[in-house]
Structure 1
């Protein structure tokens, strides 16, 4: 949408993703903002955003795709595929360490609608699953920690850390040298949250010194990832192109259309974001 158009002044619904800050002053009639993804930080970060509902898109199929991605990444490290690929390049015939799933401690950081189901899915596969969230809400079969006070206990025994946090002021830059230092040496990172949560230079430093044993990164501060970014060629990093849970366009359109109909008919909107929590 070109916000200089006359029609913009009459728009009641704005469908958006990474829109430029300041556009909302040109949209005086807006009654609902609808993200085309699960993230809404790009909307709420704009100080000019008005007091109207913000909705997101998410469905069970998207959760299933994310769970598949995280399970594959977990198996990638648990079964030593990272080591095996390296040894193939070196023409070395050597089996990786062999551990049962219940001997692998996987921590899921962020237990929202997607994170909670991923923790449960990992638990069903036999992993020793720990969870952390701001509230510490319980999940059956998962040892859950809550708030800042519980974060050290959550982090210290992990073999793999899965980041599923939303992007808020509190989670921006949370994956940094201070957090990595609280993990046991050699912990692996699976980053599926939001790009700005990860301090990329700190990740490289932690990998280089062995504090982290590897990382699969699906989301980045700059996307597409610039060709000169050192993560592309780092031997300890697997880069994936924001593919963990891409929602089919038809499903996105269907959910947005449904909320538009509800707005016009006065029915309660679906998937409304809690603005104070930013997710």
Structure 2
């Protein structure tokens, strides 16, 4: 039977079968092997060696530079190498084609493990024990039952919902915030804008999982941090630009925010002279809360390509105007 990737007709767009890969962080050879295991005839190219751009029908990319898509006149699908698609929205070089995000079990589990670690570290007073060890002190703090600790998850998309469910399964009192009213088992969900500040004021630990959109950029600002319970802990595993960093710095200095675990920042890598580095109540990781696992994600990418070739909608398609 003729491969779906070798089916040709007189339409140049339908004969564009090659896939171009772009990422400064991911291993193209891992992706080549994983994708060709699903689609043996796939013409896999790694930018900047794109070959004839007229034969490119698919792009798999992470944060491509401006102008990257301009040569690809016959492109039919763009797949983002991750869950956050903010780098693919609001561009002037990307034609109106389906844009998809990745959602593989490996990526979800890595995010769950990161947030569970960060939240549990605060819930079980680990920063205090770390400081006591540095002082050489046997310092006892009576544990707080997990169901007495209110954890708020801001953003209940695919990753945020998985994180919220996992925290609830562990026994935390979990509250979720989203612009849409969602049903997440074990989680009390708020979506009323009038409840934003009261919602924040009830939480012991706040986890940001919101995508970066026009509506969320800088949403966690001075007023948001002031609305939080004094001494609340903050975890950001989403996007740095959702947070007003100066407001967070002020809140950390005054103790309004008792501590922060930060995986993402406005500028990455985080500059060596950034005040976050010197703050004992800030835990820093280099944007690795979740990464894509090619062997698991390739199945969804291949299925989306098959669907496009058959005139169907791809998996995990996002709304570019909404940004998620």
Q: TM-score range by the shorter chain?
A: over 0.9
Question: How big is each residue's C-alpha offset from its partner over 1:164-195, in whole Å with a ceiling of 9 and x where there is no partner?
Answer: 11111111112222210110110000101112
Is it true that 1:86 corresponds to 2:147 in the alignment?
Answer: no
Instruction: Look up the match of 2:249.
Output: 204
**Structure 2 equivalent of residue 103 of structure 1:** 148
- C-alpha deviations, 1:233-261, integer Å up to 9, x for none? 31111001222221223334443233223
Equivalent residue for 1:177? Answer: 222
Corresponding residue for residue 217 of structure 1: 262
Other-structure match for 2:202: 157
1:168 aligned to 2:213? Answer: yes
- Asked if 2 retains the 8 angstrom alpha-carbon contact of 1:15 and 1:35, the reply is yes
Partner of 2:287: 242
Runs of 4+ residues deviating >4 angstroms: none
Change (3 A) 1:229 1:121: same
- Mapped to 2, the partners of 1:177 and 1:10 lie a distance apart of 50
* Alpha-carbon shift at residue 6 of structure 1 (Å): 6.3
Whether the 8 Å CA contact 2:105–2:296 is kept in 1: the answer is no
- Distance in 2, Cα, partners of 1:120 & 1:24: 37
In structure 2, the partner of 1:51 is 96
C-alpha change, 1:253 and 1:221, in structure 2 (3 Å) is farther
Q: Does structure 2 retain, via aligned residues, the 8 Å contact 1:216–1:238?
A: yes
Is 2:61 the counterpart of 1:16? yes
CA contact (8 A) 1:102 1:126 kept: yes
Q: Across the two proteins, how many residue pairs are aligned to each other?
A: 278
| Paired position in structure 1 for 2:302 | 257
Q: Which residue of 1 aligns with 2:314?
A: 269
Q: CA deviation at 1:130?
A: 0.8
Once structures 1 and 2 are overlaid, which stretch shifts more, 8-17 or 215-224? 8-17
Structure 2: tracts of 5 or more residues without a match: 1-46
Structure 1 unaligned segments of length 5 or more: list them: none
Q: Given the two structures, how large is their TM-score scaled by the length of structure 1?
A: 0.92
Q: CA deviation at 1:221?
A: 2.1
1:112 and 2:112 are equivalent in the alignment = no
Task: Report how far residue 131 of structure 1 moved.
Answer: 0.7
Whether contact under 8 Å (1:9, 1:29) holds in the other structure is yes
User: Given that residues 89 and 321 in structure 2 are in contact (C-alpha distance below 8 angstroms), is that contact kept between their aligned partners in structure 1?
Assistant: no
State the Cα deviation string for residues 204-228 of structure 1 (Å, max 9, x = none): 2110001100000111222222222
Correspondence 1:146 to 2:191: yes
Q: TM-score, normalised on structure 2?
A: 0.80
Secondary structure, aligned partner of 2:52: helix
| Cα drift, residue 28 of structure 1 | 1.8
